[in-house]
Structure 1
Amino acid sequence: MYQGKLRKIMIVLLTLYTALILYFLYLGFSRGLMVDNPGGVRFNLIPEGIALHYPMGQDFQVWFFEYGNFLAFIPFGIIIPLLFRCSFRRFITFFILSITILETLQMVSRLGAFDIDDIIINSLGAAVGFAAQRLVTVDRDKLKGIFKMSLIASILALGTIIIIGGINHYLEKGAGDTIALDKLPLKDGSVEWDKSLSSFKISQEKVTPQINLYSTKNNEFSYHLGGKYKNMTGYVAIPGDAINDANTPGTKIGFYSGGELIGSSWLSVSAYSEGLRKIFFNIPLIGVNDLTIKIINHNSNPNTNAMMWDVTLIEPNTGQKIINSIKEKIR
């Protein structure tokens, strides 16, 4: 435990760092503007997981806040135990209580939101810092020891990001078994699939389906999914030789569950834009028991019906099934 002059210096540094953190919690990032447009009290009491993801494919702002919420609290785990003798249980209890109070004040003042996920990630950062200072047993009051603690904290933080980021990637991006849509029995309606997987052209590009090819003879059909699938992917397009002129209204495909359209809009295939002749779709199916596919043709030319191919259903992986089961029990 630090004593004498070093202790006084570290208390001053801790005070200044705490003030900096409080600034970002209550005043930074234009939080003052929230008071003018509060939009009501905001809070999240149900944990969604540990918010640490790999930066690849992440929006920079999301990535910045996730890593900031983790890394910014590591110094507390290093410095506080060196100033005040305490066990990990006492330290982490005090820290969680303190950060909970700060989150509550954010919500009440409407300068932010009470978010249980923030408490988790902040506490994880503090725990990493605590572990780092405990792993250094000598020269803790010297520059050499402080450097060792900083180095160990950096290694532990990197390892934590790699492990938790990997788990999150598995739970959010990982996929289970894949099943072709044409292999499922129909619930209602009728549909024909081109078993020969005939090739066709899209914007002068030759397309050869690899899994299945929807026949244009049917415009509505349903499947019973029983909530077993995570999402459905595939391609849809209007064949290039079916586009006659720029006034062709196009064809739309809707995916429905319980009479409600899944997603925010229709998947639209139109001659107005060259880029819309071929679309990759990814439809979320978590919790969907019955799926209805409707094809609406707005053209007088029947050949402009949409082509749909390589349509597959993806099951959740084992981890996703466990998480979904837990969420269902919580609800």
Structure 2
Amino acid sequence: MHSKQQRKIIFVITIGYTLFILYFMFFAFGRVGKVDQISEYTFMFLPDSFFRVPDLSDLLHPTQMDLVGFGNIAAFIPFGILFPLLYRTNFVRFITLFILFILVLETIQALTFLGSFDTNDVIQNALGAAVGFGAYKLGFRTKNNWKNILYAGISSLILMLGVCGILGVVDQAFTKEMGPFVAINELEDSAGNPTVGTKPKRLTIGGQNVEPQYNVYSIEGKSKKTYTYALGNKKELYLSLNYGVPDSKDLQGSIRITADSHEFLFVENQGHEMNMSEILIPRANELTITIEGNVTLWDVGFREMVYTWN
């Protein structure tokens, strides 16, 4: 049991540290001077990744955002130690009240234009408080206060590294990356039949020789040509294509890319130059490529966004 004098000292430290954190949340980094430049509230409810916390590998070559992430965790560790020293509480009650408190502060930040409501910040701040509470449970086991502080400090460091390591693995498991390149002519057509595609052939565009590796698409003597492929309801993919008008042909023509009747690209009247486009296409069943005039496409394909564990 702490003496009344010790409790007063801890209380003063807690109030002082709280005011210090509030200053950084609302007034530091020139926040007040930027208020007049902001006209819209900023609420970011969804984290930009499953858990945006710094990974252990980030310690070797930290970016500014990595340092901010570490700071958002480390700065709130003391609350997990100080509050249990002042008030007897269990972890569930402590972390629930702490998260509610942070949600209120984040909301005030957004409404006063002194910051934004960011779910990532709430997660990181709560992790810091949880680490501090764990350090308190592990460190404050003796009657020697200096030893308790030392043990709590070491416990905080170990727990913080452990939490970042574990959540880094979880984040990696739920992070999407691009899968292997798939040439579009490897897909089936809309009727479910295998497509043979068109054979690559050498092109000259803008005075440069082009040797396609996968496929070439053109009107093949017609005024208009449409190619339709079944995507199989793929969740998300990046479609890439190269296009241009060969030097031997007039500058006229257009390309239209649609997926399930939604248009994603329309280009017309291209010059004698090589162009390349990448298009993000969400979940869709059918891809349609429509060519008119003298435009030629080549090496059309996609990379599907998949989770790393796939």
**TM-score, normalising length from structure 2?**
0.72
Distance 1:4 1:26, change over 3 A: same
Match of 2:169 in 1: 166
Mapped partners of 1:159, 1:199: distance in 2: 56
1:77, CA displacement in angstroms? 1.2
Mapped partners of 2:2, 2:204: distance in 1: 75
Contact 1:51–1:117 (CA<8 Å) still a contact in 2? yes
2:89 maps to a residue whose letter is C
Q: How many residues align?
A: 297
Distance 1:206 1:306, change over 3 A: closer
1:182, CA displacement in angstroms? 1.8
Match of 1:32 in 2: 32
Instruction: Specify every segment of 5 or more residues in structure 1 that has no aligned partner in the other structure, as ranges.
Output: 321-331
Mapped partners of 1:233, 1:170: distance in 2: 24
The equivalent position to 1:312 in structure 2, one of 289, 299, 302, is 302
More strand by share: 2
1:130, CA displacement in angstroms? 0.9
Q: Alignment partner of 1:86: what SS?
A: coil
Instruction: Specify every segment of 5 or more residues in structure 2 that has no aligned partner in the other structure, as ranges.
Output: none
Q: Do structure 1's residue 193 and structure 2's residue 176 form an aligned pair?
A: no
Q: Alignment partner of 2:279: what SS?
A: strand
Map 1:84-163; keep pairs closer than 5 Å: 84-139=87-142, 141-163=144-166
Q: Alignment partner of 2:284: what SS?
A: coil
Contact 2:259–2:285 (CA<8 Å) still a contact in 1? yes
Mapped partners of 1:295, 1:140: distance in 2: 81
1:305 maps to a residue whose letter is T
The more displaced of 34-43 and 215-224 is: 215-224
1:189-219 CA distance string (max 9 Å, x none): xx86345x6688999899673xx32344466
1:243, CA displacement in angstroms? 6.5
Q: Alignment partner of 2:175: what SS?
A: helix
Q: Do structure 1's residue 228 and structure 2's residue 206 form an aligned pair?
A: no
Q: Alignment partner of 1:230: what SS?
A: strand
Mapped partners of 2:97, 2:288: distance in 1: 53
Mapped partners of 1:289, 1:81: distance in 2: 56
Mapped partners of 2:264, 2:156: distance in 1: 45
1:259, CA displacement in angstroms? 5.1
Mapped partners of 2:208, 2:162: distance in 1: 49
Distance 1:262 1:175, change over 3 A: same
Contact 1:177–1:317 (CA<8 Å) still a contact in 2? no
The more displaced of 42-51 and 125-134 is: 42-51
Distance 1:213 1:44, change over 3 A: same
Mapped partners of 1:25, 1:86: distance in 2: 26
Structure with the greater alpha carbon radius of gyration? 2
Mapped partners of 2:27, 2:298: distance in 1: 53
1:51-110 CA distance string (max 9 Å, x none): 225459x99454344333323212211222123221112211221121122122223323
The more displaced of 32-41 and 154-163 is: 32-41
1:168 maps to a residue whose letter is D
Contact 1:251–1:270 (CA<8 Å) still a contact in 2? no
**TM-score, normalising length from structure 1?**
0.68
Mapped partners of 1:132, 1:3: distance in 2: 21
Q: Alignment partner of 2:216: what SS?
A: coil
Distance 1:100 1:317, change over 3 A: closer
Q: Alignment partner of 1:314: what SS?
A: strand
1:126, CA displacement in angstroms? 0.9
1:125, CA displacement in angstroms? 1.8
1:123-156 CA distance string (max 9 Å, x none): 1221121112212253475333322222222222
Mapped partners of 2:204, 2:129: distance in 1: 58
Map 1:1-331; keep pairs closer than 5 Å: 2-3=2-3, 6-45=6-45, 49-54=50-55, 55=58, 60-139=63-142, 141-174=144-177, 179-187=182-190, 193-195=197-199, 209=213, 212-217=214-219, 220-225=226-231, 227-232=233-238, 234=240, 236=242, 255-257=257-259, 260-262=262-264, 277=274, 279=276, 282-294=278-290, 305-309=296-300, 311-314=301-304, 316-317=306-307
Match of 1:326 in 2: none
1:291, CA displacement in angstroms? 3.0
Contact 2:81–2:132 (CA<8 Å) still a contact in 1? yes
Contact 2:197–2:215 (CA<8 Å) still a contact in 1? yes
Indicate the RMSD between aligned Cα atoms, in angstroms: 4.3
